[in-house]
Structure formats: structure tokens, C-alpha cells
Structure 1
Amino acid sequence: MADLNQELRKADSSSDFEKIGIHDEYVTKNTADTESTDPRITQFTHAEQRKIIHRIDRRLVVTLGIMYSISLMDRANVSKANIAGMSRDLKFSTPGVDRYSVIVLIFFIPYVLFQPPATVIMRKLGPRRFLPTICFLWGGVMIAFGFVNNWTEMVGLRVILGVLEAGFFPGCAYLMSTWFTRFELHKRYSIFYLIGSGASAFAGILAYGLIQMDGIANIQGWRWIFIIEGIVTCAVGLASYFILVDFPDQAKGTWKFLSDAEVDLVIARLEYDRADSTAPAFHLGSYLRHAADLKIWGFASLFGLCTVTSYAISYFLPVILMQGMGFNLAQAQCLVAPPYACAGIYMYTQAIFADKFRNRAVPIMINSTLCLIGLPILGFSTNNGARYFGVFLATIGANSNIPAVMTYQANNIRGQWKRALCSATLVGFGGIGGIIGSTVFRRVDSPNYYPGMMTCMIANAMMILITLALSFKFWRANKRVDAGGKIIEGQVGFKYTL
């Protein structure tokens, strides 16, 4: 099996083989029968295997989820500080450039540009070194936010923050996809994102509490948001260095984690799921050649369109609640929480059924439809109760589509370096969506923000169309395999997940 896998990697197994074809001798031929007789697997009972997977959940998914919650909190706390006095103190309302939009927007430029090299660096250094280090460093940047004197200093720090956070989300998506089989992923991505969105649910309440520190040490309340949350980020970065784990092929000997036999079990499960548990030597040409596979850009487009709405809600919901719906500061900060809490419950429930029935496209289209219902209610209704109900639908749909799209992509590709590139392009396009989402809700469009609402609605309609197109492509490829035609992604028996 080892020799066969080596030959497979030499043949650049992660290319789009349904298009180019491949000789059978370079194809992985894993079957359920060989899996059932592999001693690396059969030495553990089904119950023991489940306990091992749950241990990975607790050590990997929960740790990454906590780190992601810190990332989301740090990325979006500018919106909380904005309505808590930062806009006034840094003179954002000066005629001319919309300074707040520039501060929000500038983060995404380095965030997009630095993602492809960041995933390669993480594969080389290992996630246990890479992810905690960048987390600790951006925590230091957060603390510095609390001491800026003008808006241009804020812009510079947001650029640095974008560089440091560029490798985090794609790194997390890539790392989790290397530990779990294809039909275990949606639930894990949802737990990961659920922890993050849970932090988003209560970040407004936390921010309101920190604002009450106004005047302590002669520091304004909005500055304390950055300082305290930056300190928390540094602490999480330090702790995660001792808790986080590396890739499965590097995990033996990890402190208080899995035994060598248990790591071998994980690797065997991955080999029989998709035969890409280890990474071949890195070659830039081979790495970039994967970009010729059009479905990579289909997945990336889906994620970018999804984040148009999710980022818009994250950055502008407090503003909409105050300036568009007339709530005061305390009410606006606290009313952010319930929609995110409901989104987390819905997201996880959907993931359970999606993994059980092995369906990826339908959840994406359902979630986009929720946004297409909620956004018009939010944008065009004149009743605040109805508009707030629209917030629930849009928040649930947009946030639930994040893990849904991530899983749709992860289920339909093979190869470690292709997975690394896909994670970077996926989240890179997510950053482009963030650029759009951070600029379409303008102060001059208050209180209904019609251009922003229409942009988000168009994005969700396009998601449905792209998902239908990809599903049709995958259905045709699967039918070709069933008829004895060209195989998919270099593995006999591999089929796309629709």
C-alpha cells in the first residue's frame, strides 16, 4: 500500500483526473473489504474508534473553535467600538472619505493576498507552531488598537492584522479536513463555526460591559474593548501552543493525545476514505497546477458570495440596529446576540442531517433561500419587529452556509497540496466577499440600506445558481464512473458528494 501511494503521489494524484484521465496502475484501489481487514483498524472495536474520534473532537475542533471565536471577536470589535465613541474621538464623520468603511475594508486586502503562501508555510512549520504564533501576535496588535491617536494609525494596524489573520481560517479548515473522513466533516466544521458564532453572539454584550470601564486610567471605554480583548487573545495563543495538534502524519508523540496505534487508525481511515493522508514534497508548479481545476473556483465563488452577507451582518448589524431601527447603544449591543445563538443551533442541526444523508448542495440552497427571504424583510419592512425577524433569517442563512460550503469543497477534492490551495482560494474569495460586504452598507443609505440589501440578495441568488451548476457537473461525472468511464480525482470508486 505504501508503494502504491508513493506512485500515486508521483502521478500528482490530486489533479482533476475525470478530465485528463490516468493509467489504472497509478490509481488507488481502496474498498470497504480491504478496510474491514486492515489490522490498523480491526484492532479497535467500533466503540473504541468512536471514543478516539471524540477525543480528536475535544482536542482539535474545540481548540480551533475557541481560537476562531477570538479571531472573529478581534476582527469585528471595530464595529462595537465604532458606536461606543471611537467614531467621535477619531473624527470618522469628517466630510470626504468614509473613514469607517476604509478601516473595515483595508483589512481584507492583505487578508486575501497572504492566504496562499500562509497555507504552504503552515504545512512546512506545522499547525501547532504556526497557528498559536499568529494568534499571539495579532493579540498584541489588538492591544495597540487601544492606544491609537488618529484614524490613519488605525488603518496601519488593520493592515498588519490582515497579514497575521490571513493564514488562520484557511489553516483551520485545512487542518480539520486532514483529520476526518468526508462524511464526518460538516458536523465538525459546524462545531468549529458554532463556537465562533457563539462568541459573536455575546461579543456585543462583552463590549457593552467593557465600555463601562470608561475613565479607568483615563482611558475611554471603547479603547478598553481592544485592550482587554487583545490580552485575552494573547492568553489563548499561548495556551493553544500546548493544546493544539499537528497533522495526522506528524501527530505521533503529541503530549497527552493519541497513542501511535491510534494515530495509525486515523491515517488508515483517511487512506480508505480518499488516500491522501500524507503530503508529497512541495513543488510550486504542481501546487499551482491545481488552479486549472475549475471546480476550485466554483467553491471559492460560493464562499465569497456567502461572506458578502455574513461580513455585512457582522460589521453593520449594530449600526443598523442603532441608526436604522432606532435602538439605543445598550439595546443594539445586546440585540446582536439572539440571531447568532439561533444560527448556531440551526447550523449544528443541519450538519447532523447533512452528514447522515451525505448531502451537501441542498443545505446551501436552503440557507441561501433563508437569506433571500430575510433580507427583503429587513430592508423593506417599516415595522421594527418584522425587520428584526428578517435579521434572524439572514443571520441564520448566511452563517450556516459557511460550514456548508467548506464541507461541499472538502468532500469533492483529494490531495494534501490541492487541499491546501483550495483552503486558501476558498477563504481568499471569502476576503473579497468581506471587501464587498464592508463597503455596501453606507451611512448615506441609512435607515434602510437598500444598496447593501440588494447586493446581499443578488449574492445569495448567485449561490443557488452556482450550486445547481456544480451539482449537475458532479452528477454527470458520477454517472460516467458508474458506466465504467474515467475515474474522479485519481481514486477508483471515488464519487462526488452532491
Structure 2
Amino acid sequence: MADEKKTEKTVVAPGSDTVSEDVETQGWDAAATKKLLRKLDWHIIPFMSLIYLLCFLDRTNIGNARLDHLEQDLKLHGLQYNDCLAILFPFYIAAEIPSNIMMKRTRPSIWLTFIMFFWSACMIGQGFVKNYSGLMATRVFLGVFEGGLFPGVNYYITQWYARNECGFRMALFFSAATLAGAFGGILARGIAEMDGVAGIAAWSWIFILEGLLSIVVSMAAYWCIYDYPATATFLNTAERNEVQRRLQADHGHLSNDFDMKYVWQALRDWKIYIHCLIFCMAGFCPIYSFALFLPTIIKNMGYTANNAQLMSVPPYVCACAFTIGASWFADRVKKRGIFLMAFQLVAILGFGMLAGSGKASVQYTGTVFAAIGIYPQIPLSMAWNSGNIGGSLKRGTGIAMQVMGGNCGGIIASYVYLTRDAPRFITGHSILIGFVR
């Protein structure tokens, strides 16, 4: 009957130890729920995407700086450039589980603002280094503070949306990584014109200006990040109650308490380790290889440094569209594995074109297919893993574990493309084909 009322006795607010009062579910039909989800999307996803765009840009802009004589000015030789890429990842990995625990212990608005401010400061400092040791040191601290963002935001998303709604939102958030690659090339091309301004080289300006942009955004982050549905000021009382009711219905009777036993449960769950392996081999290893070395790969096709910066943009734009589209469809059909395998085939095609042809046009087309194939792997795999872990603390730990496993691929990625293999980098492309398979 239209006038009948259905209520839930108790609803546990994610991230909170409090229990809400009786929640009335009357009136929340499909149209009202869709409107509520759109409201969540507009208040949560854009800012999360912005800070991840800046995070990924700050982590990978060293690839753009390389084309503006970073190695020559710092007198790097042998594998020293690759060492500077790799040193970030052990510290990045080590920070992930503690960071998710800290975000659960404090609040997202506090913790995410804290780490963003300090990685931005590290980025600015990277613009003033004078030698190999200085670059290594700044990369270490960049890893420490950036390590908590990706697992933190993915965990944060699961505190607002039901499991079958998370994949698309994770894709919207992760698509910022593809946009970072596109903006990175455009910004680097423009900043190259500042070479010598105030006696500072173009590669230094890339780090300084992009770090300043991040630090400005970090100063607004505390007021732009909403902690949990129970305290969200952009929702009215009925909407807050409905968001919490939906989460409780989706999660069942799983605990949201802060208890270290749930951390140990995650650490003993073998299924999470399988996702770690998928994330490392088919996800982050090729993505970091691609992001860190794409400008160099394109330049070695015969283009100038400035043109290589600009030509790195289209592969990322294509990757962004497919990343969002694939996750949208995966959420609708509630399947992930088939999509992962399909995009792995696309990635193999792309890297095969890069390795198998010496023609610049074929190689460049290969970069587009490679980008389309590898970037959707991340949100698809994240949604698959997080949707199968119950309890907020165990889920947060499991997500951090998966990202830790994935970022082990970043260490490998730093040594996939070596200067001695230029200009074709056949060995590097072949390694990535093997990993994706």
C-alpha cells in the first residue's frame, strides 16, 4: 500500500561508532534513488578526481622533465635516472596500509589534506635539487606522502556507495590518472618556454609550478572533503538516513568497528593476494612504464621534444573514455573478469605493434591501443576486490594490500625501458606483453 511505512531498527553509520534512529524508507523509488546518487556523485567524485589527477601528475611528471634536460643538468648516468624512479615505490608501498588505518582512525578530511600538503611541498622541493642524491631524497618523501591517496580514496568511495555502484565511481576517480598524462604533456610543453626564467631550468619549473598548484588545492581540501554520510552537510536528514540504510542493507551485518582483528583477517585472506598479483602484472607495472616513459618513447620515434610532449596527449584521452565506459558497463552487468581479459588482449595488441614495427605511425597507434588496454584494468580490478571484502576496516586493509601489490609493479616498471634499448625499446615492450599475459 502507498501509505504503508517500512523501517529499519538500526543503521550503523560507516566510519562512526554511533547508531542512527529509525530510518524511514518510504518514498525512495528508483527515480529518487538515482537522484540521490547523482547528488553524491557531484559532491564527492569531482574533488577526489582532482586531487588524484594532481597526485599522479606529481608522481610521473619526471618523465616530461626528462625531455627538458633533467639528466644532463643533474649529471645522471647509467641507471641513476631509473633508480630515481624506483626509489619512490618501496616507501609508497610501505605507507599504504598505515595510511588507510590512519584515515579510519581520524577522518578523511583531515588525513587526505595532511598527506596532500606534504607531498606538494616535496614536489616543490624537487624543483630545487642539484644532484642525484637530492633527487633521490625528494622522491623518497614523495612516495611516503603520496602512498595513502589511492587506496584511501578507493576505500572512501566504498563508504558512500553500494558494491555494484563502486566500480563506475572508481573509474571516474581513476580516469584522472589518464587526464594527468594528457595535461602533463600540455603543461610541460608550455612550461618549456620558461627555460632560464629567474635562472631556473625548464625541468625545475615543471616541478615547482605543478607542486604549487597541488599545494593551493590542498589548502582547500579540508573544506571540500565530506567525511561520511552521517555527517554530510550537503545531505538533508532523510537523505543521510537513506544513504546509511542502503549501505547497511548492502553490507549486511558486517562490522564497521575499529578492531585490529579485521586487519589480521585481511592479511590472511588468500583471495586478496590473487588480486595483488593481477594488479601488479596486468595493471600498475604497464601503467607506470607507460606513464613514466611515454614522452621518451614518442621522442625516439623521431619527433622533437616539444612535439613528443604534445603527442603524448591523445593516447591518454582515448584511455580515459574507455576506462569510464568499461566500468559503467561492468557495473550494469555485475561482471569484471571478462572485461579485464578483453582489455588485456587490447594491451597486448598495442605493445605488439610497438615491438613489431619500426614505422612511427604504427608505433604511435600502438601507444593508443596500449593505453586503452591497460588503464581500465585498475578500476575494474579494484571494484572486483573491494566488492568481495566485508567490514569497513577489513575492506580498507584489503584495498591497501591490493594497491601495495600493484605498486610493486612500479619498481619493475622503472627498469623496463632502459636507455641502451633505444630507440625501439623492443625488450621493454616484450616484457610488458609477458606481464599483461
RMSD between aligned residues: 1.8
Pair 1:274 & 2:274 matched: no
Map 1:16-415 to 2 at 5 A: 39-93=23-77, 97-248=78-229, 251-252=230-231, 254-255=232-233, 257-275=234-252, 279-283=256-260, 285-305=261-281, 306-323=283-300, 325-415=301-391
Structure 1 residues 278 and 260: CA distance shift in structure 2, 3 A? farther
1:67 positional shift: 0.3
Deviations 1:140-163 (A, max 9, x none): 111111111111101001000100
For 2:254 and 2:148, how far apart are their aligned partners in 1? 21
1:42 positional shift: 2.1
Q: Which moved more, 1:43-52 or 1:343-352?
A: 43-52
Q: What is the TM-score when the length of structure 1 is the normalising length?
A: 0.81
1:48 positional shift: 2.7
Contact 2:49 2:172 in 1 (8 A): yes
For 2:253 and 2:166, how far apart are their aligned partners in 1? 15
- Which residue of 2 is the match for residue 18 of structure 1? none
For 2:25 and 2:390, how far apart are their aligned partners in 1? 22
Contact 2:162 2:247 in 1 (8 A): yes
1:165 positional shift: 0.7
1:5 positional shift: 7.9
Contact 2:286 2:432 in 1 (8 A): yes
1:261 positional shift: 2.3
For the residue of structure 2 that corresponds to 1:84, the secondary structure is: coil
Which 5+ residue runs of structure 1 have no aligned equivalent?
7-37, 462-498
1:131 positional shift: 0.6
Deviations 1:259-291 (A, max 9, x none): 2321211111111112268621322x4411322
- Which residue of 2 is the match for residue 487 of structure 1? none
Pair 1:426 & 2:410 matched: no
1:216 positional shift: 1.5
For 2:368 and 2:389, how far apart are their aligned partners in 1? 33
Contact 1:66 1:196 in 2 (8 A): no
For 1:277 and 1:294, how far apart are their aligned partners in 2? 19
1:246 positional shift: 1.0
Give the length in aligned residue pairs: 421
Structure 1 residues 82 and 60: CA distance shift in structure 2, 3 A? same
For 2:254 and 2:68, how far apart are their aligned partners in 1? 48
Contact 1:77 1:226 in 2 (8 A): yes
Deviations 1:331-386 (A, max 9, x none): 11011110110111112221221111111111100111111111111112111111
For 1:142 and 1:231, how far apart are their aligned partners in 2? 8
Deviations 1:224-283 (A, max 9, x none): 1111101100011111211111133xx42x44x112321211111111112268621322
Supply the AA of the counterpart residue of 1:47: A
For 1:169 and 1:132, how far apart are their aligned partners in 2? 13
For 2:183 and 2:122, how far apart are their aligned partners in 1? 22
For 2:32 and 2:173, how far apart are their aligned partners in 1? 23
For 1:54 and 1:276, how far apart are their aligned partners in 2? 27
For 1:5 and 1:330, how far apart are their aligned partners in 2? 54
For 2:157 and 2:12, how far apart are their aligned partners in 1? 22
For 1:346 and 1:193, how far apart are their aligned partners in 2? 12
For the residue of structure 1 that corresponds to 2:28, the secondary structure is: coil
